[in-house]
Each structure stands twice: as C-alpha cells, then as structure tokens.
Amino acid sequence: MTLLLLDTNVISDLLRNATAKLDMLNKRVLPLFEWTELLDVDWQQAARFWADARLKGKQIGDPDLLLASLAYRLKATLVSNDNDFDALPIKRETWHSV
C-alpha cells in the first residue's frame, strides 16, 4: 500500500465550491485515510530537516517540516505542489499527478 500525505493546499483546493466538495471530502476522501499522531521523533526529525535545509539556503516552515518528518518516518509519499520539499530526503508527488 502506498501512503500519501496531503498538504493544506490540496485540502483547500478540494474545498472550493464548499458545499459539494465538503460532502465529497467527508464521504469519499476522508474515509480513505487514517489519522496518525506526531511523535517526539517527528519533531526531532523536523529539527534535523530544518538544519539541513538552512545549509542548502532553503527556509521551510514548521508545518511543512512536520509533514516531511511524518512522511519520512512512515516511508510515505507526500502529495504537495510545494517545491521546498525537494530539499528534503522524502518522496513527493504533485497533487496534479496523483
């Protein structure tokens, strides 16, 4: 099974035309996912990712670092249109290609 993480841009795109898309989100999309907690190791990995990205001249926000850390731990593919994730050692797909 392939694990996919969605960033907030994907969720917000799904929610345009709110009523119909919210219904679709609740009935068709969210049941396909399971919630996973962030662990202390995810926060520690996020700090390492932050330091590595800074050395490469990239500044990545905390929410993105935590998503990347979770994807790294779960060996998941992160679904995002954000090229900042390319500075990190995770698998990423743009949401247009999924």
Domains of the chain: 4-97 (3.40.50.1010)
Indicate the pTM of the whole model.
0.68
Q: pLDDT tens digits, residue range 55-94?
A: 989 999 999 999 999 999 999 999 988 888 989 999 999 8
Q: Residue 8, CB half-sphere, CA atoms under 13 Å: how many?
A: 4
% of the chain residues with pLDDT over 90: 47
**Do residues 53 and 87 touch, judged by C-beta distance below 8 A?**
yes
